[in-house]
Amino acid sequence: MFDALHGVDTGGVVELSDLQVDNANRRFGVDYIGVDPGEFRSAVSALDIVHEDFVFVDLGSGKGRALLLAAEFPFRRIVGAEFAPELHRAAECNIARYVRDGQRCPSFELHCIDAADFLLPAEPLVVFLYNPFDRPVMQQVARNVRAAWRSARQDVYVVYLNPFHRSAWDATGFRELASGGHFVVFTPGR
């Protein structure tokens, strides 16, 4: 329904085995499934922030559904990182086609890169994850997010839907701020 309403192609399931990913972390990837719009909105709405002050970063951005949903909020800008070139190109096409009344953030930046290698902006961040990879990559991403926070000393919030590997965040010193249904919101421990 989301795709038909907005003239995009962000739905369905894309099996990792059908993608041409030349990356050592491929074995830790998971199949692509677009995030449920209601679950996304519920999780992001749990943040008590001034959205204009934050950059939204989707690690494992796939075809870009979460990026498009993030545009409903007035983030400073929206950044996606995806390691599968086919999904990255699909996200670029979807963003180019997406026009919505009430779009509150028109600034998108997409990167075809492994989330474990992505350098986070030194700005206040909302990092979004829709269970995009298995525990070894999740552990590295948690360490990267914590290191970015320590370096920049900016606010960081992690919104994790379907948090199968939440223990990677707990073990890295993040604390839970909120949870509900299928999501948890973390921030680095002080």
Tell how far CA 178 is from the center of its chain.
17
Smallest CA-to-CA distance from 64 within 40, 87, 83, 42 is with: 87
pLDDT averaged per 10 residues, the chain (length 190): 86 76 69 88 95 97 96 96 94 89 83 94 96 89 94 92 93 93 88
Task: Report the pLDDT value the prediction gives residue 28, as an integer from 0 to 100.
Answer: 66
Residue ranges covered by each domain of the chain: 2-188
Q: What is the architecture of the domain spanning 2-188?
A: 3-Layer(aba) Sandwich (3.40)
Smallest CA-to-CA distance from 75 within 100, 42, 109 is with: 109
Using CA of residue 130, residue 81, residue 112, residue 152, what is the dihedral sign? negative
Instruction: Concatenate the DSSP letters of all residues of 19-32 into one string.
Output: S---SGGGGGB--E
Task: Report the pLDDT value the prediction gives residue 152, as an integer from 0 to 100.
Answer: 83
Task: Report the pLDDT value the prediction gives residue 25, as an integer from 0 to 100.
Answer: 65
Helix count and strand count (H, E) for the chain? 6, 9
Q: How many CB atoms lie within 10 A of CB 6?
A: 16
Structure tokens at 89: 């190109």
Query: Structure pTM?
Result: 0.92
